[in-house]
Structure 1
Amino acid sequence: MNLVSRIRRFRFSGGGNSFWSIADQGLFAVSNFVLNLILARWLSASAYGAFSLAFTLFLLLGTVHTALVVEPLLVFGAGRHNANVGAYLRAVLKLHWVLAALLSLLLGALVFLWPSLRTQLGGTTFALMFAAPLILFQWLARRACYIDLQPALAARAGGVYLALTLALATLLFCTGALTPVTALLVMAAASVVSAAQIFRTLLRSRRALEPFSLHETWTQHWKYGKWALGAALLSFVPGNVAPFFLSFAHSLDAVGAYRALWNLLQPAMQLFAALGVMLLPTFRKQGAALSLRRWTGRLLLVALGYALLLAVFREPLLELLYGKKYLTYSRALILAGLVPLSSAVIAVLAAFLRAAELPRSVFWGYAGSAAFTMTGGLVLIWQAGVEGAVVAAVLGYALTAAVLLWATLHLRKRGA
């Protein structure tokens, strides 16, 4: 077999899909990672803390959107609606704009009614309300590429997003106009351009055989997504409740420090998220034929190497990326490096359970960790600040991985 044939075979094989899925998530992650690094390095700790708090609120909206729009799209688009996926995509797109607008309005109301948040965020709230539906538009577009396992399309759009984000951020930085508000607007602008490119391609190649009504689409998504929503909100807690509590119990400086450490975990966790997305429709179409042990083992090996890298080079990394601002938290980075180990397990097992249309199992997988985080985790944060928040996250993710492992083994044993 010649080289060209090997390349073509890899491109259209599972290995090729893995490559493009990693490329897609990598390009997207690099864009936001670099933007966060620029803000963390050049803004004051309190200003970066304010941006982190606002972005955490956005992630909460994204959690709801993913559970009710994106995740059902991946399951139903690859399954029951695959024969008429063009009409289904158009209906889901309408659902996105309606739900995203409502979520943005709820966000504004929350900040308005919460005086301390209103004081800490200020005008960033309005930028976030405007940007959130546009950024979520890109989230939806990228995931839509995985219905028929087309991560290459998402990766190309990711390249556009990366180029636009870095170009606009650099321009704003050089002119002294880079702030939390303008950073959100940069993300929104780049999201619209890249997402429009994806949907133009997807919808052009898929004719609508029979139209789907918005009500029908919402009913199906809610029936599936209500359990996924509970699981998603619970999964949000271990890694993201800390900024809120740190801002109240300590300071915005502490929020900025915690997010600066969390930034360094994102490359590995985004990688696992990408593979988890790819595995969901794969498990849906191939079932248990794909080895859970093989995928879990591979991701754990990557996570272990990443944790060792952070532990050995923690101080040079922190100084290179942030200057001396966050060097006092270098020991906490050793503990934080354990989070991707659990994240690797969660990505594979959650994809398997969701593909089996068992979001309820994923819900209970996150329930225990959320309960711990909101009790013992808050005590740790209150007593130990940033370090306590890191310990709480490590324990919360580990608990989720353990419960999902039990649920998966139980399902496999029952199906044997």
Structure 2
Amino acid sequence: MVDQALFAGTNFLVNVLLARWLEPAAYGAFSTAYALFLFTGTLHTALWTEPMLVYGSGRFRERFPAYQSVLIGYHWRFGLLVGLTFLSLAVFFARLQGRELALSFLGLSLAAPAVLYLWLVRRGAYVRLDPRLAALGGGLYLFLYLGLAGLLLWVRLLNEATAFLAMALAAVLAAEAIRRRLRGGAPTQVAPSEVWALHWGYGRWALAAGALSWVPANLPLVALGALKGLEAAGVFRAAYNLFMPVLHFQTALNALFFPLIARVLHQQGKGQARRWVARVILVHLVPAGAYVLLGFFAAPLTWWVYGGRYPEVVSLFLWMLPLPFLAAFSNALEAWHRSLEHPRAVAVAYGVSAGVTVLGLAAVGYWGVGGAVGLLLVAKAALVLGLSHRWAHG
């Protein structure tokens, strides 16, 4: 929980500070680029990180350093492809005179491989049952990222590109600090072909689910920037930032309860595991309920966070209040299906949610930021219904 708080808290604080420091259009460009980066993150997690949590704890437990080295080799190949893709987007937008987006994708071309590397190495600490090490890495990432961003602001060099460059440097240094502590043990060999076959066999449905999960969570923001301008995207992201602490807290709970549900399922059977899912939902609802109380202080909270910028966020905050409640159900039900090794069911549910999002894009064009908020909530509700249908049928 401390690790997740440090890691997610870094992104939350930097997003808030960038929203205060950058012009709304520049912050909208940063947010749009980061939303597209998250798409590559879902693919990376599905093929590398999630299978590593399974096979690193089991089949390769005694050969984890060698196994992790193979994964890192595959990671950097993927990272090179991702970096070149974002660099091409930077050139494309530069030719279209889109300065803000060009700068954002230029910085992201270096930041994306570095941040994905940190994600992979950080989860390796969980495989070795040493979350304390991941938390120390998260603390280092927080210190470096905020320090670099503050330094760039002080020397008046902070912009969309340098914000991502600070992210890249902080991520690489934090990842190396974690990895150095994970090394050790007798030298062993792991066949890369074996690793790839296992990860692809496990991850192909998780890959589909990850790609589809990006659509309802990020497409409304991207569509808003394209249809209503980058300033509108900045306003939407500023409102969403306020929910990042509770959503990341729920994600941390899921990381804790997912292996627990899987263990109960294996040792005590399906009936007892289903009872645990209900308990997990209740635990998730506690921080969601706390946000209802924050709704009474939405105006002073928004003014304090953004220093008077983005006054529209006050009403948007109230409209977004159902989001953590919906996340409580979707997170727990997703953990249930993954524990059953049914990533296909998760992929289908995300497919339904993604379809609803695409069909509802007209709302973004018609109502702007309000339409994007409504579409985000409807898509999340569709995901809960899709996962609940599979839950009801076993």
| Root mean square deviation, CA, Å | 2.0
Same amino acid, percent of matched pairs: 37
Query: Do the aligned residues in 2 keep the contact of 1:52 with 1:255 (CA within 8 Å)?
Result: yes
Matched, 1:300 2:285: yes
Report 1:295-374 matches (<5 A).
Answer: 295-306=280-291, 308-374=292-358
| Deviation of 1:85 (Å) | 2.6
In structure 2, the residue matched to 1:29 is 8
In structure 2, the residue matched to 1:38 is 17
Distance 1:324 1:106 in 2: 37
- Structure 1: gaps (5+ residues): 1-21, 412-416
In structure 1, the residue matched to 2:255 is 277
In structure 1, the residue matched to 2:240 is 262
Residue number among 19, 37, 47 corresponding to 1:68 in the alignment? 47
Aligned-partner SS, 1:78: coil
In structure 1, the residue matched to 2:155 is 175
| Deviation of 1:113 (Å) | 5.4
When the two structures are aligned, how many residues end up with a matched partner? Answer: 386
- Letter in structure 1 aligned against 2:126: Y
Aligned-partner SS, 2:126: coil
Distance 2:239 2:359 in 1: 23
Residue number among 341, 362, 365 corresponding to 1:379 in the alignment? 362
| Deviation of 1:99 (Å) | 1.4
**Can you list the C-alpha shifts for 1:395-415, whole angstroms capped at 9, x where unaligned?**
11121122213323433xxxx
Distance 2:352 2:43 in 1: 19
Query: Do the aligned residues in 1 keep the contact of 2:206 with 2:347 (CA within 8 Å)?
Result: yes
Query: Do the aligned residues in 2 keep the contact of 1:234 with 1:363 (CA within 8 Å)?
Result: yes
| Deviation of 1:238 (Å) | 1.2
**Can you list the C-alpha shifts for 1:289-325, whole angstroms capped at 9, x where unaligned?**
551111111111221222x034212111111111332
Matched, 1:79 2:58: yes
TM (normalized to structure 2)?
Answer: 0.92
In structure 2, the residue matched to 1:243 is 221
| Deviation of 1:263 (Å) | 0.7
Distance 2:88 2:248 in 1: 30
Aligned-partner SS, 1:325: coil
| Deviation of 1:147 (Å) | 1.8
Report 1:386-397 matches (<5 A).
Answer: 386-397=369-380
In structure 1, the residue matched to 2:83 is 104
TM (normalized to structure 1)?
Answer: 0.87
| Deviation of 1:208 (Å) | 4.8
Distance 2:133 2:190 in 1: 25
| Deviation of 1:285 (Å) | 3.5
Q: Relative to structure 1, is the Cα distance of residues 327 and 341 closer, same or farther in structure 2, using a 3 angstrom cutoff?
A: same
- Structure 2: gaps (5+ residues): none
Query: Do the aligned residues in 2 keep the contact of 1:135 with 1:187 (CA within 8 Å)?
Result: yes
- Letter in structure 1 aligned against 2:193: H
Query: Do the aligned residues in 2 keep the contact of 1:94 with 1:214 (CA within 8 Å)?
Result: no
Once the two structures are overlaid, the 10-residue window that deviates more, 225-234 or 402-411, is: 402-411
Matched, 1:410 2:388: no
Q: Relative to structure 1, is the Cα distance of residues 219 and 129 closer, same or farther in structure 2, using a 3 angstrom cutoff?
A: same
Q: Once superposed, which parts of structure 1, at least 4 consecutive aligned residues long, lie more than 6 Å away?
A: none
Query: Do the aligned residues in 1 keep the contact of 2:145 with 2:166 (CA within 8 Å)?
Result: yes
| Deviation of 1:283 (Å) | 3.2
Query: Do the aligned residues in 2 keep the contact of 1:70 with 1:140 (CA within 8 Å)?
Result: yes
Distance 2:112 2:125 in 1: 21
Distance 1:146 1:400 in 2: 28
Distance 1:67 1:110 in 2: 24
Distance 1:362 1:100 in 2: 26
Distance 2:19 2:67 in 1: 41
Aligned-partner SS, 2:127: coil
Distance 1:112 1:63 in 2: 24
